[in-house]
């Protein structure tokens, strides 16, 4: 039982930091939607969607590769760290220099009007530095997780989000108050401050990234400027399929927000992207849980792979992970009439019907991430590439077909379908090449029942909070009844 205690302990620490950091970030959603018009918020959504695609390229799949080779070659931990870091540093530096040279052309591509190009050039410059700094911090962060230092990792994340939220509040509220009330420094602030300029959000992000980089400097100091070319060849063969898989995953996650702007009429594009980006934030609670699980699970799965009962452990973890996902899925929809007030302006609420589909997509994504351990542990990362590319093809083709007709609702449907297909493919291939004794009957039962409850709560009972929570309580009671014997055994041990 100590193995479960270790897993739960680390996941809880990562979970607490992830929950609080993401909730602090979530606090900004009502601020942004209250301050910025939906067209301006669409710029925010579009910029971060593009940045996510680039992040996947810069990381080059080296995070998972670092964990795998750290446990595969325990006598070469320093070389694995050196190789992983130097690979990302080289790619990131090349990206930064190239991006700065062509920043004007990039701004021209992103802007919808000639008058926006000057602003977009500044946005691009901010993001080039943000992406560079965040990329070179990937392996130091991974080292903290691999070394079993979740508290130091968590503090770094708190520092990042604290700076981000703090400077957002400074730019959005404090400086305007100084100017309005003629406080000290008003002349200096008036000389450069632009009211309600979305670029200050990106400036706050850059400050937060720099603060995180400074905090991680001790981990950078452990780097040795030596490169093991033979080891790197092995690492590269493992990492590049993960790179393509991660890139395909990011395409599934963010392409809809990018192509919405390109496929819809210019006069409504930014507004529709803004609505979709805002309602996507309601799904953040499920995303938080999945992220927290991944942070704790990934190093645990690799380090536990050599244990005798490893596969049974993985099966048990998935079952309870699905139970937790299903309960959260139902709980969010049951209380969506309260959660919608985090999006302050009613003009965004028209996008709420997309939320159940987005959440079901996240459920499938979370299960897929859990299932995907089979091809990472068996060094068959090419299957991750195949699965993710299949999902990306579905995302690209169906978004192009559905967005012109259904706008962001088409994007929500496509997201759900892509993650469902990826989940099914990973299970089928995993059982063939690396069989794990999952309790498929119970897992499917919880998923199907929770999905029925969610769609009844939202569409049949019209988001009635009392009926929704009554069904939530009944679902939790049913889960407790059917799992009581196994839960009691685990608790006694």
Instruction: Give the tens place of pLDDT for each residue, 267-291.
Output: 888 888 888 888 888 887 788 788 7
Q: What is the pLDDT of residues 112-162, one digit of tens each?
A: 788 889 999 999 999 999 999 999 999 999 999 888 788 898 899 889 989
Q: What is the DSSP letter of 457?
A: I
Domains: count for the chain: 1
- What pLDDT does 92 receive? 96
Instruction: Give dist(CA 446, CA 323) in Å, integer.
Output: 7
Instruction: Give dist(CA 488, CA 484) in Å, integer.
Output: 6
Enter the tokens of residue 149.
């230092």
- What pLDDT does 151 receive? 84
Distance of CA 278 to the CA centre of its chain: 15
- Judge contact between 42 and 273, C-beta under 8 A: yes
Nearest to 189 by CA among 201, 179, 181: 179
Secondary structure class of 111 (helix, strand, coil): coil
Instruction: Give dist(CA 212, CA 156) in Å, integer.
Output: 6
Is this prediction's pTM over 0.85? no
Per-residue pLDDT for 460 more than 80? yes
Per-residue pLDDT for 428 more than 90? yes
Binned at pLDDT 50, 70 and 90, residue 4 comes out as low
Which domain covers residue 483, as residue numbers?
2-492
- Cα dist from 107 to 115, 131, 260, 364, 491, whole Å: 11, 16, 18, 35, 57
Angle between helices 199-215 and 117-136 (to 10 degrees): 20
268 vs 14, more confident: 268
């Amino acid at each position: 039982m100590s193995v479960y205690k270790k897993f739960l302990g680390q996941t809880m620490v990562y979970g607490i930091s992830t929950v609080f950091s993401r909730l602090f970030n979530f606090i900004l959603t009502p601020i942004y939607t209250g301050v910025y018009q939906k067209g301006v918020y669409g710029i925010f959504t579009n910029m971060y969607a593009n940045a996510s695609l680039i992040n996947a390229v810069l990381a080059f799949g080296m995070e998972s590769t670092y964990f795998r080779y750290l446990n595969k070659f325990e006598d070469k931990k320093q070389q694995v760290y050196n190789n992983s870091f130097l690979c990302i540093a080289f790619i990131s530096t090349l990206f930064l220099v190239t991006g700065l040279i062509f920043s004007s052309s990039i701004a021209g591509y992103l802007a919808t009007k000639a008058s926006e190009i000057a602003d977009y050039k500044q946005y691009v410059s901010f993001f080039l530095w943000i992406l560079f700094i965040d990329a070179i911090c990937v392996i130091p962060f991974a080292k903290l997780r691999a070394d079993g230092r979740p508290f130091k990792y968590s503090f770094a994340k708190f520092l990042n989000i604290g700076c981000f939220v703090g400077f957002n509040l400074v730019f959005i509220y404090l400086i305007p108050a100084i100017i309005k009330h003629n406080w000290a420094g008003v002349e200096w602030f008036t000389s450069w401050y632009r009211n309600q300029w979305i670029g200050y959000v990106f400036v706050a992000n850059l400050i937060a990234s720099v603060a995180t980089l400074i905090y991680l400097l001790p981990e950078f100091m452990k780097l040795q400027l030596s490169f093991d070319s033979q080891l790197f060849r092995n690492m590269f063969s493992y990492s590049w399929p993960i790179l393509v898989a991660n890139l395909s995953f990011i395409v599934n996650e963010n392409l809809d927000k990018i192509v919405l702007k390109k496929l819809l009429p210019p006069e409504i594009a930014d507004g529709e992207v803004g609505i979709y980006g805002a309602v996507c934030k309601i799904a953040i609670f499920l995303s938080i849980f999945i992220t927290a699980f991944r942070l704790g699970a990934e190093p645990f799965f690799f380090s536990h792979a050599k244990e005798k009962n490893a596969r049974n452990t993985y099966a048990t973890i998935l079952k309870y992970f699905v139970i937790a996902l299903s309960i959260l899925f139902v709980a969010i929809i049951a209380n969506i009439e309260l959660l919608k007030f985090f999006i302050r302006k009613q003009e965004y609420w028209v996008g709420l019907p997309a939320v159940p589909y987005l959440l079901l997509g996240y459920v499938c994504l979370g299960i897929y991430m859990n299932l995907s351990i089979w091809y990472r542990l068996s060094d068959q990362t090419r299957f991750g590439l195949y699965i993710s590319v299949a999902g990306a093809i579905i995302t690209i083709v169906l978004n192009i077909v559905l967005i012109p007709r259904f706008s962001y609702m088409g994007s929500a449907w496509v997201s759900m379908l892509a993650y469902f297909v990826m989940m099914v493919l990973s299970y089928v291939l995993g059982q063939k090449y690396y069989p794990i004794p999952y309790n498929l009957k119970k897992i499917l039962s919880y998923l199907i029942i929770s999905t029925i409850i969610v769609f009844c709560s939202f569409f049949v009972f019209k988001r009635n909070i009392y009926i929704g929570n009554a069904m939530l309580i009944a679902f939790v009671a049913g889960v407790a009844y059917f799992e009581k014997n196994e839960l009691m055994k685990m608790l006694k041990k």
